[in-house]
Structure 1
Amino acid sequence: MLKTENVTIGFIGTGVMGKSMASHLINAGYPLIVYSRTKAKAQDLIEKGALWVDTPKDVAERASVIFTMVGYPADVEEIYLGKNGLISNGVSGSYLIDMTTSAPSLAIKIYQEAKKMGIHAIDAPVSGGDVGAREAKLSIMVGGDYESFEAVHPFLELLGTNIVYQGKAGAGQHTKMCNQIAIASNMIGVCEAIIYAEKAGLNPETVLKSISTGAAGSWSLSNLAPRMLNGDFAPGFYIKHFIKDMKIALNEAEQMNMEVPGLALAKSLYDQLVESGEENSGTQALYKYWKSEQK
């Protein structure tokens, strides 16, 4: 059983969300080893005492609990299964926790390869965006062996408040797909509601006061609609990453012979935003498309 004291933690990926998550681990008193492709993104963590290393291999050799929070499944595959990756260079008995939203099939492959090396791997994607990461209030969806989930639970508690074991390897990623499918259609509804309020001559801010706490309430309505109205399209979650998630969900749904028309529509709208140069904007920038289309 993993003892939480005297543990050195590794963290790979210090972007919008990863940096906040890694900070919580440092603040809890754990020695932290960090790696990201751009060292400058980890500078705040380094100033807090984190040790910077040059490769995932260096992290694997020095840390017994390693978190990853990167961009795409290809990045996950390289970090875990590459020559300088975590599994081939990891220590038997260590724990690998991938919090990236990635393909369920890849999570299963990583679990199987890690197990051959005596390494515990779990998939634990999150929801809550930059706010949830900053406030340590993420929703964490976990797949893998239950014993591994129990072992790392104290560390997950430093990052989130809703931590649920979903089942065997890949279950966490499948659950995240459910999350993204729900968000995709909801974002369309949020934008339509705000545009409708404006066209009806209402004050959209006061409209939000009424509808955000009723049956229409959602995280996106409460947290992202105000950003839309303030013209704040900075990324709490990048459009390019959301499209990546939607592609995974569409592929998984196709394999299950399931139609997902709401998800398909949302992706088509976001694809048009990317064509207009909005790939690095936050997902709330869908409002821009809707506003221009509804003039």
Structure 2
Amino acid sequence: MVLNPQATSIGFIGTGVMGKSMAGHLQKAGYKLHVYSRTRAKAEELLALGAQWHDSPASLAEHSDVVITMVGYPSDVEEVYLGEHGIVKHAKQGSYLIDMTTSSPTLAKRIESEAKARGLSALDAPVSGGDIGAREARLSIMVGGEQAAFDAVLPIFQLMGTNIVLQGAAGAGQFTKMCNQIAIASNMMGVVEAIVYAEKAGLDPSTVLKSIESGAAGSWSLSNLAPRIINGNFAPGFFVKHFIKDMGIALQSAKEMNLELPGLKLAHSLYEQLAAMGEGDSGTQALYKVISKL
């Protein structure tokens, strides 16, 4: 099945830091865009360009061929999809439901099962790349679900990302995103510690970065977030509070698999300290504020 932009309506729920850019790419490609967000002000830019506002997920689902969600927490995902006024109960037959929130693999499986029972196709498709990746349509998209559904919506994914991989059955996208967050958690500690060490040694961190970011220490966080730390920019590309949520999901999943992840546990505890300092709405690079004071 080919989803022609001129004949396909896309509903997008969650127009925050990343969602607004992602939805904007779909709108620019010619898809009729329907939007819903808890805070209407966050959707005003899309509405000014012609998107149609809905007062509930149910109303949006009734008018959309594809529904994409980018919300905050697994509890939000559950409410938006499985609540009395949620997407699954109100979506049109044959619709595609795509949750791009980082959420629980178990919940992703449940949504897919309930959607399938109603003649709907559901995919879990969390992303990596932060605000920059969303803005530049260079997200990495990790997908769980059936091959046919993936093939049908691939052109939509390609408007938002450049690295799009079907990882397996329902839940596989979320499991893969947990791998991503586990790797980032320890890496962010290393990035921050390297900057703090450079400062204590009397070096210019920006000059140090020129030497180490292209070598074995290189990483996305080092190239993209270290300069923000050096410039004192702790605005969110990805919220601390959401990263804590992600690490909590990964730790719970690891517990269910009888797996110990000491690096992740340490990172989780440091970020909880950061949140306790009132930095929950800061970007993940704000970890500097904890480590620089140890």
TM-score (norm 1): 0.98
Match of residue 208 from structure 1: 209
How far apart are residue 2 of structure 1 and its match? 4.0
How far apart are residue 65 of structure 1 and its match? 0.6
Name the CA distance, whole Å, in 2 between partners of 1:268 and 1:239: 12
1:204 partner amino acid: P
SS at match of 1:217: coil
How far apart are residue 252 of structure 1 and its match? 0.3
Name the CA distance, whole Å, in 1 between partners of 2:269 and 2:102: 20
1:62 partner amino acid: H
How far does the alpha carbon of each residue in 1:67-120 deviate from its partner, in whole angstroms, 9 at most, with x for none?
A: 100000000000000111110011111000000000000000000000000000
Native 8 Å contact 1:31 1:50 kept in 2: yes
**Residue 119 of structure 1 pairs with residue 120 of structure 2:** yes
**Residue 104 of structure 1 pairs with residue 105 of structure 2:** yes
Q: What is the aligned residue count?
A: 293
Name the CA distance, whole Å, in 1 between partners of 2:9 and 2:60: 10
In the TM superposition, 1:34-45 aligns within 5 A as 34-45=35-46
How far apart are residue 12 of structure 1 and its match? 0.2
SS at match of 2:163: strand
Native 8 Å contact 1:128 1:138 kept in 2: yes
Name the CA distance, whole Å, in 2 between partners of 1:281 and 1:195: 19
Match of residue 194 from structure 2: 193
**Residue 229 of structure 1 pairs with residue 230 of structure 2:** yes
Match of residue 26 from structure 1: 27
5+ long unaligned stretches in structure 1? none
SS at match of 2:123: strand
**Residue 3 of structure 1 pairs with residue 31 of structure 2:** no
How far apart are residue 3 of structure 1 and its match? 2.9
Native 8 Å contact 1:235 1:283 kept in 2: yes
- After TM superposition, the runs of 4+ consecutive aligned structure 1 residues lying more than 6 A away are none
Native 8 Å contact 1:104 1:174 kept in 2: yes
**Residue 144 of structure 1 pairs with residue 145 of structure 2:** yes
Name the CA distance, whole Å, in 2 between partners of 1:151 and 1:29: 17
Match of residue 16 from structure 2: 15
Match of residue 269 from structure 1: 270
How far apart are residue 129 of structure 1 and its match? 0.2
How far does the alpha carbon of each residue in 1:149-174 deviate from its partner, in whole angstroms, 9 at most, with x for none?
A: 00000000000000011000000000
SS at match of 1:277: helix
SS at match of 2:278: coil
Match of residue 169 from structure 2: 168
Name the CA distance, whole Å, in 2 between partners of 1:60 and 1:9: 9
How far does the alpha carbon of each residue in 1:174-233 deviate from its partner, in whole angstroms, 9 at most, with x for none?
A: 000000000000000001101111111111101101110111000000000000010000
How far does the alpha carbon of each residue in 1:28-58 deviate from its partner, in whole angstroms, 9 at most, with x for none?
A: 1111000000101100000011000100001
Name the CA distance, whole Å, in 1 between partners of 2:274 and 2:202: 27
Seq. identity, %? 67
Native 8 Å contact 2:3 2:153 kept in 1: no
How far apart are residue 281 of structure 1 and its match? 0.4
Match of residue 256 from structure 1: 257
How far does the alpha carbon of each residue in 1:221-271 deviate from its partner, in whole angstroms, 9 at most, with x for none?
A: 000000001000000000000000000000000000100000000000000
Match of residue 72 from structure 2: 71
2:242 partner amino acid: H
How far apart are residue 4 of structure 1 and its match? 2.4
Native 8 Å contact 1:4 1:154 kept in 2: no
Structure 1 vs Structure 2 CA RMSD = 0.6
Native 8 Å contact 1:8 1:62 kept in 2: yes
Match of residue 159 from structure 1: 160
Name the CA distance, whole Å, in 2 between partners of 1:94 and 1:141: 20
2:11 partner amino acid: G
TM-score (norm 2): 0.99
Match of residue 134 from structure 2: 133
Match of residue 86 from structure 1: 87
Native 8 Å contact 1:181 1:249 kept in 2: yes
Distance 1:71 1:287, change over 3 A: same
